[in-house]
Amino acid sequence: MPRLALLRRAVLGLGGALLAGPPDCADGAANSAMALPQPGDLLVAETSGQSPPPRPLRPHDLPSGGPPVLAWPMDEATGTVRRGSRFNQVLLVRLSVARLSAAERDFASRGVVAFSAICTHAGCVVSGWRASDESFLCPCHGSTYDPGAGARVVGGPAPRPLPALPLCPTRDALTVAAGFTAWIGGSTGRTD
């Protein structure tokens, strides 16, 4: 078989495999773990192990005024934690209601606001906190976001705010009301 035909066959085979997806994605649990946060999902604290089972976070579990807590959405019906994609990581912080903008209050639950934890600059995980002005800080390139004003960019190279994750105003658990308000991820194509 000519070399060009072999190359074409290999490329077509790889393309077919990519379209089919990884073999374990045929499993419903794998699909559920990869799915973005869904209305009704509960937010659970970031944990490295599965034992004990994750417990849904409540507003009073978060310290008032920060620092933020990294969390994952969990399908309440199946108990599947949606940690199959890093794009599902959520930043939670509890602020005084007076510190929240009017628009932000609509997305909050008892002062708790939720945002994508993925920086809009290079896609790093926003894990820092600057207590002096209650702002999120991305450790990769120094972008800072104001969680009380819709996570708007207040410093650094990030081109847009962190997408918000609207929460239901419930007393017992932090529950997702709707999906992220904008596209998640970095804008530079970099991943450092």
CA angle, corner 56, sides to 135 and 108, nearest 5? Answer: 40
Within a domain: residue 187? no
Based on the structure, what is the number of domains in the chain? 2
Report field, pTM of the whole predicted structure over 0.85: no
* Per-residue tokens: 142: 């120094």
Find the DSSP H helices in the chain: 3-20, 28-34, 102-107
Residue 23 belongs to what domain range? 1-27
Distance of alpha carbon 133 from alpha carbon 186, whole angstroms: 24
Distance of alpha carbon 119 from alpha carbon 145, whole angstroms: 9
* Residue-wise pLDDT tens digits, 56-72: 999 999 999 999 999 99
Q: At residue 90, does pLDDT exceed 60?
A: yes
* Residue-wise pLDDT tens digits, 127-157: 999 999 999 999 999 999 999 999 999 999 9
Q: Are residues 54 and 22 in the same domain?
A: no
Q: Are residues 66 and 138 in the same domain?
A: yes
Q: Are residues 143 and 96 in the same domain?
A: yes
Percentage of the chain lying above the pLDDT 70 cut = 78
**What is the DSSP code (8-state) at residue 88?**
G
Q: Are residues 57 and 140 in the same domain?
A: yes
CATH of the domain at 144: 2.102.10.10
